[in-house]
Structure 1
């Protein structure tokens, strides 16, 4: 049975209050918790409507049993500044990020009756960037939540840092690359980064038609991220961190002013 409208509203109000205060909290009261994926999606959409913030991008992954990985990224939480001072990272000693690629749309993909082809989606992409998804939950212990609760809160998204564009949008094989990062005098960390869905474009193709079927389009300038290449990395705040995405991109970023 779908979450009643008054309970959906109560849940959205609490999550919005936590977003605005920057203070996470406990699980919602049991009657307000989304019980299935549709409830989670509806709660996420209600939060978006109530917040009234422009959507600057989306995160997505290919669906799997019991999981629907799709969430908006609000424009005020997207930055490309070398010193990223978005409010949710200002007063913490570390920032959790996920290394990703971001597809920036040059052309809109509006709602229409028939599905978009992969070629049409490819043609709409203007550039591909190295990116870091910033992880921040509105819950104290997100690991304890059922997946619909995570979905309702935007899947632990706290924002997006956009790095440099890759040299070409006609991508080589980017299912894997050697990822290196280092901060201060600490030894460099190195892993063999792999995309969880193999082809990083596959979730983009899925997202476009999922949103289309839900009466939502994608706008020019929006960014789409499609999965972490190396899980979650804990970076120190207020220190310059250097990243090397193999031969794809190099950049430096500092979180917190």
Structure 2
């Protein structure tokens, strides 16, 4: 990990302030000025940390982490989840902050035990899974300070919490360890119309491997994973956009259902 210093640190602090102002005021930007865009993942994570701090308090800290990879061979990328943005199924999302309204169906894990940083011996997959309290279907809600984050520079999008805007979770999945995720089907519907339906479609392939990766490789930034934190593991459905008055329903064949509703004046 290379921490920015001197003039570059000042530039990246300005980067975080620009993205925060855009999110808070609703005056979105097309992209960051070229000189303020992160150029490495260390810089991305530095900016993410500053943005996340603005949405956390000692009582409402980091609620967990989102992690994913665009394909099974790619290095995963992650971002913090502010606790105040996590809600149970059936949540009503209202207010001017819901502008982009992107939706992704995902599978998330709630930790029941701590996994503090460990430098001597990496955590095994079995050790990390033993720390999982439960598995849940979730909807990741995508928001951004960027007008169209899919058209902006990728490093700008990643720095802006990877477009994270909220996490809505469904009921625990019984016996989730026995599910064949390669055969698991998911459907995402908006206002009763199925917009996406796929099978075994998490882009990282064996998405469970992301948990030990985060516990080990990510620990330099996360400072460990802890009981009560959520780990969501990447999209099964891509990015689907909703209207201001929409009901959203995600159904996994085995892993259950999760819903939310928007009430936003466009």
Find the counterpart in structure 2 of residue 39 from structure 1: 43
Query: What is the alpha-carbon root mean square deviation over aligned residues?
Result: 2.8
Given candidates 138, 142, 146, the residue that maps to 2:145 is 138
Given candidates 239, 257, 260, the residue that maps to 1:250 is 257
- Cα 1:86–1:157 change in 2 (3 A) is farther
Find the counterpart in structure 2 of residue 121 from structure 1: 128
Q: Following TM superposition, by how much is the alpha carbon of 1:47 offset from its aligned partner in structure 2, in angstroms?
A: 2.3
Q: Following TM superposition, by how much is the alpha carbon of 1:80 offset from its aligned partner in structure 2, in angstroms?
A: 0.7
Find the counterpart in structure 1 of residue 53 from structure 2: 49
Given candidates 186, 205, 212, the residue that maps to 1:205 is 212
Answer yes or no: is 1:219 the counterpart of 2:226. yes
TM-score by length of 1: 0.86
Q: Following TM superposition, by how much is the alpha carbon of 1:231 offset from its aligned partner in structure 2, in angstroms?
A: 0.8
Q: Following TM superposition, by how much is the alpha carbon of 1:119 offset from its aligned partner in structure 2, in angstroms?
A: 1.0
1:4-153 aligned at under 5 Å gives the runs 4-53=8-57, 54-62=61-69, 69-85=77-93, 87=95, 90=98, 95-114=101-120, 115-153=122-160
Conservation of the 8 A alpha-carbon contact between 2:197 and 2:237: no
- Cα 1:66–1:46 change in 2 (3 A) is farther
Conservation of the 8 A alpha-carbon contact between 1:101 and 1:131: yes
Conservation of the 8 A alpha-carbon contact between 1:133 and 1:161: yes
Conservation of the 8 A alpha-carbon contact between 1:110 and 1:216: yes
Q: Secondary structure at the match of 2:251?
A: strand
Cα offsets for 1:116-158 (capped at 9, x unmatched) = 1111100110000000111112111322333322221111111
Conservation of the 8 A alpha-carbon contact between 1:100 and 1:131: yes
Q: Following TM superposition, by how much is the alpha carbon of 1:7 offset from its aligned partner in structure 2, in angstroms?
A: 0.8
- Cα 1:36–1:169 change in 2 (3 A) is same
Q: Following TM superposition, by how much is the alpha carbon of 1:221 offset from its aligned partner in structure 2, in angstroms?
A: 1.0
Conservation of the 8 A alpha-carbon contact between 1:62 and 1:206: no
- Cα 1:239–1:44 change in 2 (3 A) is closer
Structure 2 stretches of 5 or more lacking a match?
none
Conservation of the 8 A alpha-carbon contact between 2:66 and 2:81: yes
- Answer with 184-193 or 12-21: which moved more: 184-193
Cα offsets for 1:177-197 (capped at 9, x unmatched) = 222344446467633351112
Structure 1 stretches of 5 or more lacking a match?
none
Q: Give the number of equivalent residue pairs.
A: 255
TM-score by length of 2: 0.83
Q: Distance in 1 between matches of 2:255 and 2:54?
A: 38
Find the counterpart in structure 2 of residue 167 from structure 1: 174
